[in-house]
Amino acid sequence: MFDIIKFFDSRGTPTICAYTKCKSDIITSVAPAGKSTGSHEVLTYPIIKGIPNIGQSFKFFKQNKKSIEQAFAFEEQEEFDSFLEELDETPNFSDMGGNLAIALSMLFLKVKAKEQNKQVFEYLNPKPKLNDLPKPLGNCFGGGLHSNNKIPVQEFLVLHNKKLISDNVKLNIDVYKAIEKDLHKRKIFFGKNDEGAITANITFNDAINLVEDAIDKLGEKSKYGLDVAASSFYAKGKYEFENKKYSEKEFISFWNDFLKKHKDVVYVEDPFFEDSFDAFAELQKKTKALICGDDLYTTNKDRFTIGVKKKSTKAILIKPNQIGTLSRMYETVKLAQKNDIDCVISHRSGETSDNTIAHLAVGLKGIKYIKTGTISGERLAKLNELILIEKLIS
């Protein structure tokens, strides 16, 4: 028995849970959803009158349920995912919806692991080692589309390099709590955004100082990064950043100067518009920091191939639901590994307790980082799963 049901994500938005009963266990797979989305992602749901319609995905599943159930008899992930592509007949899953596709694709993986009495990570990686676990990038302060403040930059991400992921998770939380304490002390009103990160109506420079002060107080060799999400404030060839407009050339200089000044910033995601391959390459050439492409690539192998040729970035964000199937995601990860480009597997702003990306992070080997928040249940579901995997491996 295979079926789908409507669940709700961390924003209270409906999403798709695919589930089945296997060896007396109920196996579920739930699709997340992004708010800051790249225009080259697959469609989350079929478009009806200009609006994504989850009901059409349920209708599609009902019409094709028998053949989908039969497809779970396939042995290989690639076979099943190819079946989904053929069933949909569009390159961006506009008929079934990318969230239905990824929910089914992840469910297939979990079923195959269960049939062999294995955890997903060990099904993918039969001999896992501690160094297969990723380092967590913890979102501790937020702006942009995820928050209701005036800071254009979307995420301020803290990073630690301890041997054990449990230690790194704890240190990220310590920085988060130090920021909370500082804001309390300064009597600055603050809240939490879509990803559970702290948000306050302060300037970008104030936020930088806030994060750096929290890191200094912790006394660890902490580093941090930014998810700029620059496409969200780009229009008509200009970047409008804190009431000032920058040309692309000026914005390259802005970030280059910033990185020279702030030596502890080791990661910058989407500092430019999603089609600006050359601007990414220019900044990456000037800095030792990891420049990472999210909206630039959308986990799409064809777009990533352009970036590889242009040497646009030294890192790529991996989001399974951006591309619709695990097989497509695997192709992109393999291309990154072939070219020594770091993979950062990531949650979405609209998340659930589904912990599949934690298993993918270990199972695929070579996933260097995981970006899945710092505090809030749906984020910690992934981090706690990694802590458990670490224990099982050790």
Answer CATH for 130-393 from 3.40.50.10860, 3.20.20.120, 3.40.50.300, 3.40.50.720: 3.20.20.120
Tokens of 276: 């600006």
| Superfamily of domain 2-118 in the CATH hierarchy | Enolase-like, N-terminal domain (3.30.390.10)
Annotation marks residue 269 as catalytic: no
Q: Which residue blocks in the chain are alpha helix, DSSP H?
A: 54-71, 77-88, 98-115, 120-124, 165-185, 204-218, 248-261, 277-286, 301-310, 320-323, 326-338, 356-363, 377-393
pLDDT reported for residue 145 = 79
pLDDT reported for residue 36 = 63
Pairwise CA distance, residues 96 & 89, whole Å:
9
Domain range summary for the chain, segments of one domain joined by + = 2-118, 130-393
Query: Which residue ranges of the chain lie beneath pLDDT 70?
Result: 36
Which of 110, 112, 223, 319 is flagged as catalytic? 319
Which of 41, 122, 155, 195 is flagged as catalytic? 195
pLDDT reported for residue 39 = 82
296-to-41, 306, 315, 361, 363 alpha-carbon distances in Å = 10, 10, 11, 21, 25
pLDDT reported for residue 393 = 95
DSSP state of 86: H
Annotation marks residue 319 as catalytic: yes
Pairwise CA distance, residues 21 & 373, whole Å:
31
